[in-house]
Amino acid sequence: MVPALVEARRAKATTARAFVRVAAAIWLIQAWAQPSLAQSTTTVASDLAFPVGLAFLPNGDLVFSEKQGTVRIIEDGVLRAQPLAVIPTVSASETGLLDVAVPHDVQGDPAVYAFATEPNGLTNTVWRVPLDGSGPMRIIEDLPAGTYHNGGGLAFGADGDLYVTNGEQHETDRAQDPEALGGKVYRYEADGSVPADNPFGEVPTYALGLRNPFGIAIDPLSGDIWVTENGPSGDDEVNRIVAQGNYGWPEVVGSGCDEECIDPVLSYGSTIVPTGIAFPASDAPRRLEDVFFFAAYGEATVHQVTLNDARTEAVADDILLRSKEPVIGLEWGPGGLYLSTPSSIKKIAFRKNSSDQPESRIDPRPSLSPPIGDDEAEREAAGRPWGLLILGILIGGLIAMRVRLNEQTRKDLAGDDPS
């Protein structure tokens, strides 16, 4: 082989290696230049006994439930040694002390509300737990209970009413009967009475056709109710709940509804076990105001779902966090998104950047704490133009090197041409 051809091949190999190195550098710089949504994950409390529901008081204190029956408070970042209340319950399988919720007017109603299975395992109860520790009392009784398909979510709506999720305990016919309890989202007044304007008359049913709805959250912009639902074998769902809505179970599983029922916003072919669900509050970075989050116990993940402009459909579904433990409850609180695992409560903090404005379209919830600082994000944002400049220099240098090598190869081959 003539020497020029040998050198030409060596030049091409050198160029290929250079391309690989520069491509790797480009990837690293691009990854660095893109703002990350999740800034950090920290442990708020550990060595807990299966915390499920999370709710924040206006002063930023975190109230949470432990499945075996204790309602506890993290005050100024420190877990109180004594529980706020002990609720009698049984904690087999899906039963136990489950969700908790704080009323909007907590100063006028200084209490936290809790959903728990009675010790006999036959019924579920919603309790009012005074914040002064004076002892809980039952306000909603005789909701059907079961070791499976038990439900257990609580949320106060934009109207101030209390919304409750309850499964059908494998009694599928309950789900389609508006007068039967089970397989529903219920609507109550805060005192446990049924509102006069409920969509099905004098019964608490607000929406039906649900199998095992668990997590529930209220969109702070639209006031819409969103629920996670566990399907039979796959077909786990996230549903946007409307008054008198029928979500198909047991006739329809997953998508496939006609005018008689409402398809889920999200449906999964595999079993992911969706649990808690939450929307950002007014202290969130502005770019998060069109998203919500839900936990998938079976995946040990937290999903971040982006909504369309009407806030009725999902346009993106991303994995925000892959956890080492299953994820149960979710709630937005001071400085980020809080989640519970079987043994701990953690917080995901979100990085703000220069595009985030101090104001937000989200209607403020009760004041929790000042927004998280964005000094670190601003420093990163200031450094990104330098990264892009370096990227341009690398690409330009690579192009120039390739041109020179090609010119030299053509000259060498022309010099060795036997003709």
Can you give the three-state secondary structure of 206-238, one letter per residue? EEECCCCEEEEEECCCCCCEEEEECCCCCCEEE
Contacts of 173 (CB under 8 A, 6+ apart): 180
Residue 69 CA to its chain's centroid (Å): 25
The answer to whether the CB of 67 falls within 8 A of the CB of 353 is no
Residue 1 and residue 226: Cα distance in Å, rounded? 72
Reported as a single tens digit per residue, the pLDDT across 244-271 is 999 999 999 999 998 899 999 999 999 9
Alpha carbon of 363 to those of 90, 293, 359, 360, 414: distances in Å?
38, 18, 10, 8, 74
pLDDT band at 165 (very low <50, low <70, confident <90, very high): very high
pLDDT beyond 50 at 180: yes
Residue 357: per-residue pLDDT: 42
Residue 351: per-residue pLDDT: 83
The CATH number of domain 38-350 is 3.30.429.10: no
Reported as a single tens digit per residue, the pLDDT across 99-138 is 999 999 999 999 999 999 999 999 999 999 999 999 999 9
Q: What angle do CA 23, 25, 26 make, to 5 degrees?
A: 65
Write out the two tokens for 306: 């982006």
Average of pLDDT values for 327-354?
A: 93
Residue 387: per-residue pLDDT: 52
pLDDT band at 21 (very low <50, low <70, confident <90, very high): low
pLDDT beyond 80 at 313: yes
pLDDT beyond 90 at 15: no
Report yes or no on whether pTM surpasses 0.85: no
Domain ranges of the chain: 3-35+377-415, 38-350
Find the range with the poorest average confidence among 157-166, 236-245, 304-313, 362-371: 362-371
Residue 198 and residue 191: Cα distance in Å, rounded? 15
The answer to whether the CB of 114 falls within 8 A of the CB of 122 is no
Q: What is the CA radius of gyration of the chain?
A: 28
Alpha carbon of 133 to those of 73, 112, 136: distances in Å?
11, 11, 8
Average of per-residue pLDDT values in the chain: 85
Q: Specify the length of the chain in residues.
A: 419
Sign of CA dihedral 110, 343, 123, 204: positive
Residue 259: per-residue pLDDT: 87
pLDDT band at 76 (very low <50, low <70, confident <90, very high): very high
Amino acid at 311: R
Alpha carbon of 26 to those of 29, 72, 389, 394: distances in Å?
5, 49, 11, 8
Angle between helices 3-33 and 375-415 (to 10 degrees): 170
pLDDT beyond 70 at 19: no
User: Which of 323, 294, 326, 321 shows the shortest CA–CA distance to 307?
Assistant: 294
Reported as a single tens digit per residue, the pLDDT across 382-398 is 444 555 555 566 666 66
Residue 286 and residue 284: Cα distance in Å, rounded? 6
pLDDT beyond 50 at 376: no
